[in-house]
Structure 1
Amino acid sequence: MSSLAHGEATSDVEVTNISAHGIWLLAHGKERFLPYEDFPWFKDQTVKAITKVEEPAPGHYHWPDLDVDLTDEIIEHPDQYPNVAK
């Protein structure tokens, strides 16, 4: 039997939902929507790859199966970080 209360969070970061339009990332009590339009690396990926997210440093999120790294700044202001190489 687990010592965790029912519904208690086991991680400070997790993907809480995946839809046809994007994913929801919950980190430290704040949930944010990451649309595929701004974060195309998640589109057409497996649920397992998308939900396997780590936080190697505060505010730095890493998806090891996708080789994707994002920060709070990138998530909050994707327009300042174009995802197309120039």
Structure 2
Amino acid sequence: MSLLAHGNSISVVEVTNISAHGVWLLAHGEELFMSYDDFPWFKEMSVQSIVNVEEESPNHFYWPDIDVDLTREIIKHPDRFPLKSKST
């Protein structure tokens, strides 16, 4: 017998909102905002690509469709990590 009822999520990370300004990520009960100014990789991506997020290790998030990985620290303090992707 399964310990999880049908329909219950075991994910501890999920995208809760995508807006014209950025993406909200819910991780371990905390909502984190990623503005497109600080995280430009998400701006032109499909909703499907953005919501496909995994937590590879504690507080380390990976978007396989976009090949972007970020830590909670980077998301909370993007000013400490000023490197951004360059447009081609």
Give the TM bin, normalised by the shorter chain: 0.7 to 0.9
Aligned residues: 82
Match of 2:62 in 1: 62
What is the aligned-residue identity percentage?
59
Match of 2:17 in 1: 17
Aligned equivalents of 2:39 and 2:59: distance in 1?
A: 17
For structure 2, the 5+ residue unaligned runs are none
Equivalent AA in structure 2 for residue 82 of structure 1: P
Do the aligned partners of 1:23 and 1:34 also contact (CA within 8 Å) in 2?
Answer: yes
Match of 1:3 in 2: 5
- 1:33 maps to 2:33: yes
Aligned equivalents of 1:17 and 1:27: distance in 2?
A: 13
Do the aligned partners of 1:38 and 1:83 also contact (CA within 8 Å) in 2?
Answer: no
Equivalent AA in structure 2 for residue 76 of structure 1: K
Normalised to the residue count of structure 2, the TM-score between the two structures is 0.85
Secondary structure at the residue paired with 2:48? helix
Secondary structure at the residue paired with 2:31? strand
Secondary structure at the residue paired with 1:73? helix
For structure 1, the 5+ residue unaligned runs are none
CA RMSD of aligned residues (A): 1.8
The runs of 4+ residues in structure 1 deviating greater than 2 Å are none
Secondary structure at the residue paired with 2:50? helix
Secondary structure at the residue paired with 1:70? strand
Secondary structure at the residue paired with 2:10? coil
